Amino acid sequence: MGAKNHGIVMPDSNKEATLNAILAAGFCASEQRCMALRTVVFVGDSETWVNDLVERAKGLKVNAGIEPDADLGPVISKEEEIFGPVLICMKADSLDDAINIANRNKYILKQTPSFGPL
C-alpha cells in the first residue's frame, strides 16, 4: 500500500528546509513507505512554493534505480505491485481549510501539521 499522507505548509515556514523535507518525504522510495507524503497543502500563496518545488524535482536523477547515484527509480514489491512517486500540491486559504482538506481523505495514514512554525 502506498502512502496517502498530507503535509501542511504554513506561509512563514523556512523555505529551504521545507522544500528539502517535501522532496525527501514525497519521492523517497517511490512512496513504498507508509510514511511517504502524497499531498502537500500550502496555506496562502502557493505559486512560488510550487514553482521552486518543481524546479528541485526536475533536478532529481531518475533511472532504473540500480545506479548508486540515482534519486528516483521504479520500485516493485514482492507482490509485483508498482509504486511511483506522485506529489499533489493544493492551496488552502487558512490552516483550518488545509486541515479540512487533509481530513477529507479517508485513506490517510498520517498528517504532518506543518513544516514550519504556526
Helix (H, G, I), strand (E, B) or coil at 5: strand
- Mean pLDDT over 90-112 rounds to 81
In a domain, 92, yes or no: yes
CATH number at residue 68: 3.40.309.10
Q: What is the pLDDT of the chain when averaged over all its residues?
A: 78
What is the predicted pLDDT for the residue at 15? 92
pLDDT bucket at 82, cuts 50 / 70 / 90: low
Q: Tell me the chain's radius of gyration from C-alpha atoms.
A: 14
Cα–Cα distance between 12 and 57 in angstroms, integer?
22
Its domain, for residue 29, covers: 5-112
| Burial class of 36 by CB neighbour count within 10 A (0 to 12, 13 to 18, 19+) | buried
Active site (annotated) includes residue 89: no
Assigned domain for 117 exists: no
The catalytic position among 34, 35, 82, 86 is 34
**pLDDT at residue 118 greater than cutoff 70:** no
Q: Which residue has the higher pLDDT, 62 or 90?
A: 90
Reported as a single tens digit per residue, the pLDDT across 8-57 is 999 999 999 999 988 888 877 655 666 677 888 999 988 999 999 999 99
